[in-house]
Structure 1
Amino acid sequence: MPRAVLAAGVVAVLGLTACSSGDDAASPFGDKQTSSDTPAGQAAPKPPAKITLTPTSGAVDVSPVAPVNVTVADGTIEALTLTNPTGKQVVGQLSADKTSWAVGEPLGYGKTYTWAGTAKGTDGKTAPISGSFTTVTPAGQVDASLNVGDGKTYGVAMPIAVKFERDVTDKATVQKAMTVTTSVPTEGAWAWLDDRTAHWRPKTYWAPGTQVNLVAKLYGTPFGDGKYGAEDRTAHFTIGRSQIVQANTQTHRLVVIRDGVQVADFPASYGLESDPGRVTHSGTHVVMSKHETYSMTNPKYNYENVVVPWAVRISNNGEFIHGYAPSIWAQGKQNVSHGCANLAPENAKIYFDSAMTGDPVEIVGSTEQLGAEDGDYYDWALTWDQWLAKSAV
């Protein structure tokens, strides 16, 4: 009996299907069959070109480095130019599929740029490309200078310093526009030492041989108060061998460690400890420059144009490592200088020949500490947490 019931059900369905005919007949599943809106054998119409301008036509106060492009959907670009107020064409690049065109160079400040061209839609019709926009006119342009240069080699304590010619109000935006990349993974950060100065230093000394690349995309970057960057700044440099000076004002010695090996131990005389104005400051200094001879003047202590040999500047507060024959009697025994590290001239020459801008000079033992009042470079006098606290981001 079960087999007979199943057979009867199948016959009923087949019979219903055989009796159905016509476009409006219902399907066995209750769906109504409808005809297409497009007549049989006729293709749907193709859409016209859809043109998008970035920035939109009529836009003002556009950054000269903002994205500027034209894109076309349902079509391709046939011809396109972007011209400045004098009619000069801006350099740009058409994509391989001809659906977009992008500016390939920075634009100028305070200029109106005009689009002209055509696009062809998939409907075969030509559509015009037109419009204009105006770039921002800065209240002022701010330039910057660097302390590092292309192809140079520096010591393992060298900070990167960017000095702006005017105060920077929007420090966060400017900081984000400056990028440091390295060939060796290096943890580091920017710090604002004042309203015009930003430094980047690693958390610990650089690894010798590190390749460092700085890109500061300042042009077109807002500095705040209506001011914008005047020009980009870049530098690519190398970190050299490791050479660290360890200077102790209490033992009256100056030790040189190169690549982890002690290569010199000189007797020295540091700043007179009984006078706070003459004390050599403790803290990590950085070699800033070298001079075969240097003229020393300090009206407060009544000396002028005292020429010393083999002078290596280690801070902007007047501290040097240099040769000084008149204090040889005190070197290795007591501190008598006006803040510098005095060496015998022949020892000063040995150190001078080995020194490199960016080398650290670690001074310990004195009653005065290196700090912001000493100017460049007091970067290493700050703890890492203190340094990070000076970041604007």
Structure 2
Amino acid sequence: MYERRKVFKIALAAGGAVGLVACSGEEVSGSGAPDAQPPKAEITAEPAVDAAEVSVTAPVTVTVAEGSFTEVTLTNSEGGEVRGELNAEKNTWTSAESLGYGQTYTYAAKATGTDGKPVEFTGSFGTLQPAAVIRATLNPIDNAEVGVGMPISVKFDAAVSDRAAAQRALTVETSKEVEGSWAWLSDRQVDWRPREYWPANTEVNVTAKLYGVHYGGGNYGKADVTTKFTIGRNQVVKIHTPDHVMRVYRDGAEHASYPCSNGKDADPNLNTPNGTVIVMTREPTSIFDNERYGYTDVKKKWCCRISNHGEYIHENEENRANIGKKNTSHGCVNLFEKDAKAYFDSALIGDPVEVTGAKADFPTTSAVMDWLLDWETWKSKSAL
């Protein structure tokens, strides 16, 4: 809490005796000068001089009553000046940038009162010192073009205990009207997704004003982060595993279809699970290892990861005999090489992949499980 404000004025000292007025109305002179009046101007500041643990984001103001400023500076511990602006009346100076953690700031102000007398003001205050500062990152990155299922993800380097405080610092602006909500998937990650898939060609601006936000336990945000990205065309993959066909839809109409072999039907552990996931990565080549099932260092082409549970859409010419006929993979969607290349070239990170017909469901332990939750469950994970 700030201390009481201290008001600094320069008072002119009165010297000698004060003149007296006799009963007759005649002035009786003393030996000194006439009484000097103090200046009218008064300078105050917020935060007050000697305040401690001051917020680094609240604006600093220096104000003069009955006068106007001729000079105002606020300097940090290293002597660097803090940017600020005077109002049109030149009676209020307001800082125009955030302060630093654990710094001492010093005021120096001069003003002239309405009586023409000068006044000066000096003093200092200290800003809060966090127990720790926590970095945050935003995804998608700047200028990315992503699919209509892409969530916005804020990830923190350490646990956030005051989730509401962090969430209040997050804003999403869209060029088209979109209903959406934040949901905390862990104490280090909060995602925003629309209720339905994004409208195609939506422009999205995300601002995370996290610098100075108290996450609890004396931990504070390290820096503000922002991103601007674009939603691309509407493309959705639909796979009904018993059909052995992967269908690609554009704007709701079938755009392409490819014969496929999915996860083994008889073993739920090897199914291509039910649920809506997204394309997480596009990898021209990938190495697959699963010692449990007897293979390591298997190289495949045109790979689109759809979960971190192990599922991909990829080329598998070694399984050519079963593609389009039988489900024999260990959970991936196997395509002929030419089809895998065609799909790979058409895909964007964030394209939805909807799987039905399997015995097992996608686990919600995947890194991107946003679309595996219904809307009411998703909203219930908001901290606000």
Structure-1-length-normalised TM-score: 0.85
Residues in 1 aligned to 2:286 and 2:153: alpha-carbon distance in whole angstroms: 25
Residues in 2 aligned to 1:128 and 1:367: alpha-carbon distance in whole angstroms: 79
* Alignment CA distance shift 1:53-1:306 (3 Å): same
Q: What does residue 128 of structure 2 align with?
A: 136
Q: What's the secondary structure of 1:130's corresponding residue? A: strand
Q: What does residue 291 of structure 1 align with?
A: 283
Aligned length: 348
Q: Deviations over 1:222-275 (max 9, x none)?
A: 111101111111100001100000111121211000123211111111111222
- Answer whether contact 2:269 2:360 (CA < 8 A) is retained: no
- Answer whether contact 2:41 2:67 (CA < 8 A) is retained: yes
Q: What does residue 367 of structure 1 align with?
A: 359
Decide which of 45, 49, 59 is 1:57's aligned counterpart: 49
1:249 and 2:270 correspond: no
* 1:186-201 correspondence runs (5 A): 186-201=178-193
Q: What's the secondary structure of 1:277's corresponding residue? A: helix
Please list every run of at least 4 consecutive aligned residues from structure 1 whose deviation after the TM superposition is greater than 6 angstroms.
none
Query: What is the identity, as a one-letter code, of the residue corresponding to 1:233?
Result: V
* 1:121-270 correspondence runs (5 A): 121-270=113-262
Q: Which one has the largest radius of gyration?
A: 1
Residues in 1 aligned to 2:236 and 2:38: alpha-carbon distance in whole angstroms: 74
Residues in 2 aligned to 1:291 and 1:209: alpha-carbon distance in whole angstroms: 24
Q: What's the secondary structure of 1:372's corresponding residue? A: coil
- Answer whether contact 1:177 1:217 (CA < 8 A) is retained: yes
Q: Deviations over 1:72-113 (max 9, x none)?
A: 333211111101122221121222221211112221110110
Decide which of 65, 78, 85 is 2:77's aligned counterpart: 85
RMSD: 1.6
Deviation at 1:129, TM superposition (A): 2.2
Q: What does residue 300 of structure 1 align with?
A: 292
Q: What does residue 10 of structure 1 align with?
A: none
Q: What's the secondary structure of 2:269's corresponding residue? A: coil
Decide which of 59, 63, 67 is 1:67's aligned counterpart: 59
- Answer whether contact 1:211 1:237 (CA < 8 A) is retained: yes
Query: What is the identity, as a one-letter code, of the residue corresponding to 1:91?
Result: R
Q: What's the secondary structure of 1:348's corresponding residue? A: helix
- Answer whether contact 2:59 2:98 (CA < 8 A) is retained: no
Deviation at 1:327, TM superposition (A): 1.7
Residues in 2 aligned to 1:191 and 1:149: alpha-carbon distance in whole angstroms: 19
Q: What's the secondary structure of 1:387's corresponding residue? A: helix
Deviation at 1:59, TM superposition (A): 1.8
Residues in 2 aligned to 1:120 and 1:231: alpha-carbon distance in whole angstroms: 39
Deviation at 1:390, TM superposition (A): 0.6
Unaligned runs of 5+ in 1: 1-44
Query: What is the identity, as a one-letter code, of the residue corresponding to 1:193?
Result: L
Unaligned runs of 5+ in 2: 1-36
Identity %: 47
Residues in 2 aligned to 1:60 and 1:123: alpha-carbon distance in whole angstroms: 34
Deviation at 1:284, TM superposition (A): 0.7
Structure-2-length-normalised TM-score: 0.87
Residues in 2 aligned to 1:193 and 1:292: alpha-carbon distance in whole angstroms: 30
Q: What does residue 106 of structure 2 align with?
A: 114
1:386 and 2:377 correspond: yes
Residues in 2 aligned to 1:54 and 1:111: alpha-carbon distance in whole angstroms: 16
Query: What is the identity, as a one-letter code, of the residue corresponding to 1:368?
Result: A
Q: What's the secondary structure of 2:308's corresponding residue? A: coil
* Alignment CA distance shift 1:368-1:49 (3 Å): farther
Residues in 2 aligned to 1:279 and 1:51: alpha-carbon distance in whole angstroms: 74
* 1:18-57 correspondence runs (5 A): 48-57=40-49
Decide which of 321, 342, 346 is 2:313's aligned counterpart: 321
Residues in 1 aligned to 2:265 and 2:125: alpha-carbon distance in whole angstroms: 67
Decide which of 317, 325, 346 is 1:354's aligned counterpart: 346
- Answer whether contact 2:184 2:381 (CA < 8 A) is retained: yes
Deviation at 1:347, TM superposition (A): 0.8
Residues in 2 aligned to 1:383 and 1:73: alpha-carbon distance in whole angstroms: 58
Residues in 2 aligned to 1:286 and 1:216: alpha-carbon distance in whole angstroms: 24
